[in-house]
Structure 1
């Protein structure tokens, strides 16, 4: 059975400052199972791009193999894209990023694509602090091959097969913090209010921004005994903070006490509510961030929100001192500066 999106849209759809509607950030019709958390994550990405006034043609989408890696087809159909082989998305994203630093790179992956066959690729993208928005849609199973447990399935968790997972799980957020990611967050596909600001914050961050999105598989891993199910996550979710993202424009100032909520009027007239968490929640301290994850895990709770951020370390382009211009814009004079310059280079190496 095939389906198409209706061509009609209300003539007075809201527009962003680019004159684009939310529809302009959509893609093809999803072929995923009805109710799949990945579709909700896709919609959160669409909403974040719309609200940030991102030009679709300035975005490059990268993915590997898996249910999650199909989703770039479902958003920003006016952007660039590359679907890599299983686990190799970070390599493709690295090459594209080195060739053109001006684009916004969104890397979509899954728990199998990231924590198993792609683990080595994931680790090196982290330690290089590649300027990449790495979004992992984590459902704890291999949805394209009948629901086997993935490396992120919690020990004792039981999916549709009914067999408890005997192995310890890999916590991708802890790994990301330990190996060098400079922005780490965890969200839930069923909590768009939290997830959209986390994605917007990642897009504005320079360096590797990793978001682990718990995204239940409704077909193979949504039983009451699965820790990646809608039921379990909703009953055990623990938000570490309430996060709102304000794009850089005219400064908006406010002052309110810890533990209270403040209403703030944004530049576009919309209203957000800021909640000031207790000052002891320091998301810039790597050790504290990992300890907090472990503490909540011991209580059987899933910690979400902005978990760690480090704006002091350099990203890959700064480390390598790469060209400020896209490689395809460099001319022969740029690439072949002449014999005089070549002699200077040779002399510096003697």
Structure 2
């Protein structure tokens, strides 16, 4: 079997504002199982960044261990990348962000990588409001080690072996909200129309932008009785509404009926439009998001879409008042100004 992607593309492929085609944002051919939802998420990331006309070398993609953490190989092949150890992606992303604040950070993780071994790392990246987009490809199982239930597997959900999960699930979207995440969304790998604008909004958000994407494992967790399988998820989805992301450079116009839409303006002037289906959800209110997630869960439904966003978010660099010039661009004299400056700092702390 060959894993080489052919170089040929149609000569008249559409281009973005930079003159790039989607080929410039693709990666290696996927080695995941045929039909894996993770590949759909990779395609949505490619589509979103292509449409945003971001230069590939301005993006850093990071991951941990798991099926989901293999996916950065399959998108943005011309971007920076780092595959860390299991559950440790958030600390690597934090270090990279501190050294070079000018890059756009895309973190990809899984439900095992974030909700189990990496839960502590995930929690601190959220509370520090690290400026990154953090996607969890959530399939409710450990796909690389033969399908054991993960911490996000719903209580009573049946595994491929036919055994129900006895433990309550960790809802990562709710956890992110409780920890202070300034952007929280949820989607389904089978809904590209919803994923693409969510990803665009998350990338533009100044701070920690979390998207929990349910992505069925076609090999170990797509059986009858599984609450993470394609059939169950499609039958139990409920969307907050239709999300549309409008960059600042485009004319902003809407045609939504009165009292059914909500707008959130980002720091750079871009606007998120939410054509609301759930009239009780206020995307600017953290408690509203938590309550609506719980209400839909009680009905056996999965609430997707934009759940919460703080339009006044300030990221970790703002909180620490760090230098505007990236550390990687500083020379030795700037980074080590001498013992006199160090003594002054120490004296100020006494």
Query: What TM-score, normalized to structure 1?
Result: 0.92
CA distance in 1, matches of 2:110, 2:346: 47
CA distance in 1, matches of 2:258, 2:13: 38
Aligned residue pairs total 340
Match of 1:63 in 2: 63
- CA offsets, 1:65-121, max 9 Å, x none? 000000000000111111011000001000000000000000000000000000110
Q: Residues 218, 259 of structure 1: CA spacing in aligned structure 2 closer, same or farther, 3 A cutoff?
A: farther
- CA offsets, 1:288-325, max 9 Å, x none? 11010000000000000001111334311111111212
Q: Residues 278, 66 of structure 1: CA spacing in aligned structure 2 closer, same or farther, 3 A cutoff?
A: closer
Tell me, yes or no, if structure 1 residue 145 matches structure 2 residue 145: yes
Match of 1:166 in 2: 166
- Per the TM alignment, residue 253 of structure 1 is displaced from its structure 2 partner at its CA by 3.3
Q: Please say if residues 240 and 278 of structure 2, whose CA atoms lie closer than 8 Å, have aligned partners that are also in contact.
A: no
Q: Residues 232, 80 of structure 1: CA spacing in aligned structure 2 closer, same or farther, 3 A cutoff?
A: same
Tell me, yes or no, if structure 1 residue 126 matches structure 2 residue 140: no
CA distance in 2, matches of 1:91, 1:338: 29
Match of 1:26 in 2: 26
CA distance in 2, matches of 1:339, 1:116: 43
- Per the TM alignment, residue 345 of structure 1 is displaced from its structure 2 partner at its CA by 4.4
Q: Residues 125, 336 of structure 1: CA spacing in aligned structure 2 closer, same or farther, 3 A cutoff?
A: closer
- 1:16-55 to structure 2, matched below 5 A, reads 16-55=16-55
- Per the TM alignment, residue 281 of structure 1 is displaced from its structure 2 partner at its CA by 2.3
- CA offsets, 1:247-288, max 9 Å, x none? 111542345423769xxxxxxxxxxx9735565420111111
Q: Please say if residues 240 and 276 of structure 2, whose CA atoms lie closer than 8 Å, have aligned partners that are also in contact.
A: no
CA distance in 1, matches of 2:276, 2:218: 35
Match of 1:324 in 2: 324
Match of 1:229 in 2: 229
- Per the TM alignment, residue 342 of structure 1 is displaced from its structure 2 partner at its CA by 5.8
Match of 1:295 in 2: 295
CA distance in 2, matches of 1:288, 1:231: 29
Q: Residues 256, 158 of structure 1: CA spacing in aligned structure 2 closer, same or farther, 3 A cutoff?
A: closer
- 1:221-260 to structure 2, matched below 5 A, reads 221-254=221-254, 256-258=256-258
- Per the TM alignment, residue 242 of structure 1 is displaced from its structure 2 partner at its CA by 1.0
Q: Please say if residues 258 and 276 of structure 1, whose CA atoms lie closer than 8 Å, have aligned partners that are also in contact.
A: no
- Per the TM alignment, residue 149 of structure 1 is displaced from its structure 2 partner at its CA by 0.3
Match of 1:88 in 2: 88
- Per the TM alignment, residue 40 of structure 1 is displaced from its structure 2 partner at its CA by 0.3
SS of alignment partner, residue 135 of structure 2: strand
Q: Please say if residues 15 and 21 of structure 1, whose CA atoms lie closer than 8 Å, have aligned partners that are also in contact.
A: yes
Match of 2:310 in 1: 310
Q: Please say if residues 258 and 279 of structure 1, whose CA atoms lie closer than 8 Å, have aligned partners that are also in contact.
A: no
Q: Please say if residues 258 and 277 of structure 1, whose CA atoms lie closer than 8 Å, have aligned partners that are also in contact.
A: no
SS of alignment partner, residue 123 of structure 2: helix
Q: Which runs of 5+ in 2 are unaligned?
A: 262-272
CA distance in 2, matches of 1:100, 1:108: 19
